[in-house]
Amino acid sequence: MSDSGAIDFPSLPWEDDAPGIRARAERAAGSRWAVVAYGAGASRVEWCTDGHRGYVLEGSIEYEFEDGSSPLVLREGQGFLLGTDTGHRGRNLSEGTTRIFLIDDPGR
């Protein structure tokens, strides 16, 4: 995508990110933009150190931090920031699917 335009997320194919987690993603303005769906009880095993900006579209998600900081619990309608080089991983707290909109800010 160029510097101006639209991303038609519904037309993008779902790609598996991890067991129970899938995404519709596109590159825009030098970052990965994605709608990410966490199935009921799905969680990431690996720690991520890329930064993220996001918004919870549906459900709730908890991010735990590698340094032992208090978890960040987010619910539908909340936006969030996860800093670069701060190890984190998410898990779905909902009984149903949790969907988030995410812009990745990879470490430089």
Flag whether pLDDT at 2 surpasses 80.
Answer: no
Q: Kindly state whether residue 7 falls inside one of the protein's structural domains.
A: no
Flag whether pLDDT at 93 surpasses 70.
Answer: yes
Query: What total number of domains does the chain contain?
Result: 1
Q: How confident is the model at residue 43 (pLDDT cuts 50, 70, 90)?
A: very high
Report the CATH number at residue 50. Answer: 2.60.120.10
> Span 27-45, mean pLDDT?
94
Q: Kindly state whether residue 74 falls inside one of the protein's structural domains.
A: yes
Picking from 107, 66, 73, 68, the residue whose alpha carbon sits closest to that of residue 91 is: 73
